[in-house]
Amino acid sequence: MKLKFCGLTRKQDILAANAARPDYVGFVFADSRRRVTEEQAARLRAQLAPGIQAVGVFVNDEPERIAALVNAGVIDLVQLHGGENRAYLDRLRGMTGAQVLYAVRVGAYADIERVKDYPVEFLLLDASIKGVCGGSGHTFDWSLIGAVEKPYFLAGGLNESNLPLALRTGAYALDLSSGIETDSVKDETKMRRVAALVRGEQP
């Protein structure tokens, strides 16, 4: 199972990720306390170890801006959290061949079913919290997932305590943000322990 650490904002976060070796790290470009500018993301990406892919997180952003970040090598994958429609996806697809993670706020299996034919490589299943696009720190009822044809990232309130259960889902990857923080700051020790749990190693 793959691992993603999301919401990295500082050089220390990147160095901690380099040591823990997740498969992906996420830079949030949407409105959030974890938001980074394009310039900050470029500096962070330059310090990221080879082999770790960078994901840009967006909410209804301009496709041109997203494509520019991909083309500049700041991000490798695109994560969309705003319920973007098919026309938007088609427009983005015309500008970049980067893989896309499409976030679904899951309140029922029908929410997943509704987007099963969208032209994206991955779904990202997250909690459905009114007025919140993502990063809420809340889990959802994983029994609602059912059979998902596309590979999916499981997000929403993941931490060391519920990771053993999360590892038994059919997720392609686990996506953590608040679960690797202490007092709203990324915690190197938690990163290391989470990575070890996912790999079945001793922390």
**Residue 130 banded pLDDT, cuts 50, 70, 90:** low
Q: Is position 133 annotated as part of the catalytic site?
A: no
Catalytic residue (choose from 6, 13, 23, 175): 6
Three-state SS string over the chain comes to CEEEEECCCCHHHHHHHHHHCCCEEEEECCCCCCECCHHHHHHHHHCCCCCCEEEEEECCCCHHHHHHHHHCCCCCEEEECCCCCHHHHHHHHCCCCCCEEEEEEECCHHHHHCCCCCCCCEEEEEECECCECCCCCCCCCHHHCCCCCCCEEECCCCCCCCHHHHCCCCCCEEEECHHHEECCEECHHHHHHHHHHHHCCCC
Q: pLDDT by residue (tens digit) across 10-45?
A: 999 999 999 999 999 999 999 999 999 999 999 999
Considering only 19-23, 90-94, 144-148, 183-187, which range has the smallest mean pLDDT? 144-148
Catalytic residue (choose from 13, 61, 126, 175): 126
CATH architecture of 2-199: Alpha-Beta Barrel (3.20)
Q: Is position 6 annotated as part of the catalytic site?
A: yes
